[in-house]
Every structure is written in C-alpha cells, then in structure tokens.
Amino acid sequence: MENYVGKRLDGRYEIIEIIDVGGMAVVYKAFDNIDNRIVAVKILKDEYLTNEEFRRRFKNESKAIAVLSHPNIVKVFDVSYGDRLQYIVMEYVEGITLKEYISQQGTIEIREAIYFVTQILRALQHAHDKGIVHRDIKPQNIMLIADGTIKVTDFGIARFARSDTKTMTDSAIGSVHYISPEQAKGSVMDAKTDIYSVGVVLYEMLTGKLPFQSENAVSVALMQLQSEPEKPRNINPDIPVGLEQIVMRAMQKNPNDRYQSASEMLMDIDEYKKNPNIKFDYSYYVDRQPTKYIPSAQEIAREYQKQVSRPAQQPTQPPRAPRQNRSEQEQKAAAARKRTLAVLAALLAALAIFAAVLVHLYSKSSNRVDVPYLVGKNLQAEVLGQEAYEDFELVYEYDEESKDEAGTIVRQEPEKGKVEKGSTITLYIATGEDEKRVPDVYGFEYSSAQSILKAENFEVRIEKEANNDREAGTVIRTSPARDEKVAEGATITMYVATADDQEPVEVPDLMGMTIDEAKDALEEAGLALDSSRTEYRASSQTRGQIIGYESLGESVLPGTKIAVYVSTGQLPTAATTTTAPSTTTTTAPSTTESTTVTTTAPSTTADSDVTVSTSQTSTTAADDEPVLDAEG
C-alpha cells in the first residue's frame, strides 16, 4: 500500500496525514489548493486497482453520490477514477464515529438516541427516494459531530434499488452484526434492508449491546436468519414499551413485517416523542387467534351506573299482593325500607355522575399546557425538532420588515396563557438579508422548473401527485409557496402532476451514445431529448459522444425532457507546473464527467506531485459518503 502523505494529487490535493485505513481504501486528510479548504480524500488501495469487483464498487459509489444531496450525508466534492489512481474527495468531518461514542458511553440516553436515529432515517429516506440502498448501515459508517449532527458515510457497496438488488453469496458484504436476514442469505434487497440495520443500531445505542454476538461470523449470520434477539427492556428496563416496539418492528425477520420506509419509521418515532407512554398495535405483538372482547373503562363505568340506578326504577316483576293479616307496623317498615333503597340508589347515581364529571374536567384540564415563549429564539437552531414544543402545531409567517437576524422569531400568536395540546402557534420569522423569494414555477414543465430553482441555489425535491386537471409533468405548487422568502439554499418541494395511470420510467443509459442514438433511446422509453439545453464539454472521449446527462439512474415521468452533455473531443488545458493547475469548471449536474490531464514536465520545485495521464475527474456537489479508489 503506497503512502501518499506529503504528495499532491493532480496538482491540487496536498495529502497531510492518514485518517483511517479500511478494507479496500485509505482515507487521508488533505488541503485543496484551489478552493482553499481541508478535505478528506479516500483512495483505493493499490492491490485493488486491477480487481474489477472493487473498481465496479467504486464506480457504483460515484454514481450513487452523484444524485445525493442531504445535510446528514457526507458531502462529496470530486471523484477521479483513472487507470492509475482512483479517489473521492469529500468534506472533512471533525468528529468521531457513532461506534466510538457508544463505546465511550456504554448506553446512550434515550432522547439522544432518538435524535441520532432520526437524522440517520432522514438521510436514508433521501437516498431511498433516489433509488439507492446503502446496504452497510452500521455505527462505524456514521460520523458524529460535536454539535450532535449525524453524517452517514460510505456508500461503497450501495446499489441502485431498481437494478442490481442481490448481494453476492460468495463474499461478505456489509458487517455481519448489522446485516438483514435477506442480506445474510443473498436474497433481493430494497430499502427495508437498511431499516433492519437501523433497528440494530438503535438496539445497540439503547442497550449498549449487539442483538447477536458470537466469535464466529457465520454463527452471527445464522442468528440473523433464525434467532430472535433478547428484548431491549430485558437489558435496559428504562426503555419505554413503545420505543422497544419501534426497535423490534424495524428488526423483524420478514421484510413485510418491518417498516416499509424510513418515513414510516419516523412517523412512529414522532408519535412516541409526543407520547412516551404510547403502545403500538403491531400485528405480530398480539395473538393472531380470535380473543374474547374486553370492554373499555368507559363502558364498564356506564354499565356500573346502570346497575346502581336499577333499584329506583320500576320493578320488572309485578308486586306480590299484600298479606291480609299483615300488621300496620310491618307495612310501615316495608315502606321505609323501600324509601331507603330509593334514596341510596339516587345517591349512588349522583356520585357516579359526579365522578364522571370530575374525570372529564380533570382530563380536559390535564390536556391544557402553557404556551412557550419563543420570541428571540432562532427557528432552526432552537425550536425545530425540540421535544419541548411538540405539543403544538407551529405555523410560520415571514416578517420582511424586521431588522433581526434571519431565522429569528420576532413575535408569536398567542404569546402566553394556556391552550389545548395540539393548538396552533403562529411564529413570525425575520427574513434577514440572505433570504430569497421562491420563484413562481407553477404550471412549468417540471424539468424546466427544477433548472430555474437550482439556478437560484435552491435544493429541489420532487413529489408526484395524481391530478387529471393539470397537464402531466407540470408543477402544481411548491412548498414553501411561490414568492415566499426563505433562506438561500433551502429545499423546495415541487408537487408535479401525474395522470392516474401514469407510472415513472427509468432514464436509459446514454453514456457513449451519439445525440441521434440518445434521442432514439429516450423516445423508445417514452422520454424526449432536450435539444435546447445540449452542452458541449471538453473531454478526451470521442467527439460527439455523450459524457453525461440529467437524471442518471433515476425514474422520471413519461415525456420528461433530458439534457445531455457531449464531448468536443478536445482536452482542457494541461497543467505543467506545480502551482494551481488549470481546471475545467462546469455547471453540469454531478453526473457529468470532465477530464483533467496532468502532463509530466521537468519540475523546478521540490513539490512532490502525483501525475496521472488522462485521469477522469468528475466534480460533484452531492452530499454523500466516502469510498474511494487509490492509485499506485
């Protein structure tokens, strides 16, 4: 394994020190001379450069990271996969792995564990929405920053869920303590595979132990297939029942019994956060055989009231005729007993009603909570995601006149008093100088709308919505809505109209095709070539060949126009000095490949540059994790 410390990659990345050594790659800390920042560079080990399987994994990861952009996924800036050097450049994260944190703490406090797993699930939902299954979720691949932020890393064995969904049965993929049963036996995998691994991670955080442990990896894999883990509450009795149910549902052997998505698991976690005493009605927790009906407490109370009220009611049996020889004294005593019973019955009925009223008043009063005073707090940093405010529905309005810092809550309605749980609190947020208006893209074809939003530096998320009143593929609305002011770089959700019978189609592989071939392939798939946005890029590929295109590896709506990027057949200017080399700056999506050539010229300095002939470098702005290829 060559040590790159002290060397410079492609005349740009100065390697400072080794951060970590993994099974297939080495991660270095480096300085980016062009962007003047510290980065992490993951380089494939020399011995794997000729191994097609490892090279395939690297390229597969580069595809995955090209479509990911999320605050809880490590951001990737650049990838290179030449014949002699393969690496990925990503953001340098100052922190420790979640595994190290668990080892330090033993068990993680419940609120903290919930906070961590929520971020992990949000990152995975983003990846799953892009059709990517991580397949190696474990604490070692999760970075923890000092402020509590989670960063999911290492998509090295990720797969696009729509294509290659089986693991190799003759090689170990993932970490055996965290893999799902379907991974252990080489079955088809999807998003629910990652859900199982998240369940194991949450189990370990709450208990300080792994659900299955053995000195033999094969034994652990068999346990994943056949054995039931010990209930978390048996290890840590402080774990609430509802939270244990969430963990165990995520770890069900049958994928159909698990959460079907990260969003579904997040919904149950939100319910638990609102009510830590909640108990979920999961089907596999109850006897599947019919059971007798058990009345509720209210029904029992009503029945009791009926019973105590019956003596005062008309007798159901006709009264016996009085005996003719009964004395007057006996008759008076009988009448007195009847009056006494009637009074007692009335008193019992009154007491039952009074008790019911008290219960109602108490439950009503206990459902009222104090309005929190939020003025002066920062919405993102101090309010959103905080359990203290989960009893309320927070609605936001923006105050463009306020001089306060962007994101500051300048006033609220109501300001104080008691309200019912679930009541709405309207927060007025200062927009500040860095706020931007959301462009009006209503009615636009969604790929054009996406380009407009991205040009304004917004992140874009697309939700498909059945709507036969709008032309399929056009934007119905956005959230936040058009003309609202939001922070620059905020995520805008576009709701795109689809017909009831319209199903997304996968964008075909266009790499290496000519424009005419790409046009035919797209039309055959029910898509179209966006000729107006065709771009020509400097590349060593044959002139006229496609070297990149939009929506690589994604499914889009029928009729969507796809922009392509075509090689000019010419290389960009070569860098022949050890100063900052000439680089090609592109505005293309992260799926576009460009080529940087570093020629070997007599060096007049002492810099130790690594020179690589015709190494392909694809610059991305995606949030992703590290898995790189090293060169020799």
Helix H segments across 170-289?
181-184, 191-207, 217-226, 232-235, 241-250, 262-274
Copy the structure tokens of residue 269: 């976690």
CA distance 406 to 404: 6
In eight-state DSSP terms, residue 383 is I
Is 136 an annotated catalytic residue? yes
Residue 39 phi, psi (nearest 5): -135, 170
Catalytic residue among 129, 136, 190, 624: 136
CA of residue 331 relative to chain centroid, distance: 81
Residues 128, 262 contacting (CB under 8 angstroms): yes
Instruction: Give the amino acid at 25.
Output: A
Phi, psi angle pair for 64, to nearest 5°: -65, -45
Tell me if 557 sits within 8 A of 464, measured CB to CB. Answer: yes
Q: Which two tokens stand for residue 343?
A: 């009074």
Torsions phi, psi for 62 (to 5 deg): -65, -35
Which residue type occupies 448? S
What phi and psi, each to the nearest 5 degrees, are found at residue 319?
A: -65, 145
What is the four-CA torsion angle of 499, 501, 502, 505, rounded to 10 degrees? 180
Task: Check if the beta carbon of residue 32 is closer than 8 Å to that of residue 17.
Answer: no
Residue 572 has a CB neighbour count (10 Å cut-off) of: 19
Which residue, among 154, 160, 200, 156, has the nearest Cα to 177 in the 3D structure? 200
Q: With beta carbons less than 8 A apart as the criterion, state whether 231 and 243 touch.
A: no
- Which two structure tokens, joined as six digits, stand for 532? 């107006």
Q: How far apart are CA 106 and CA 606, in angstroms?
A: 49
Q: Of 7, 5, 22, 53, which is closest to residue 625 (Cα–Cα)?
A: 22
| Contact (CB, 8 A) for 558 and 527 | yes
Q: Is 219 exposed, middle or buried (0-12, 13-18, 19+ CB in 10 A)?
A: middle
Q: Which of these, 111, 83, 92, lies nearest to 32 by C-alpha position?
A: 92
Residue type, 593: E
Q: Phi and psi dihedrals of 224, rounded to 5?
A: -60, -30
User: Do residues 272 and 247 lie in contact, with contact meaning Cβ atoms separated by under 8 Å?
Assistant: no
Other CB atoms closer than 10 Å to residue 446's CB: what's the count?
25
Q: Which of 392, 438, 435 minimizes the C-alpha distance to 413?
A: 392
Characterise 457 by phi-psi region: left (phi > 0), alpha (psi -120 to 50), beta (else). Answer: left
Alpha-carbon gap, residue 231 to 234, rounded angstroms: 5
Terminal-to-terminal C-alpha distance of the chain: 8
Q: Kindly give the pairing relationship between strand 528-529 and strand 485-487.
A: unpaired
Active site residues: 136
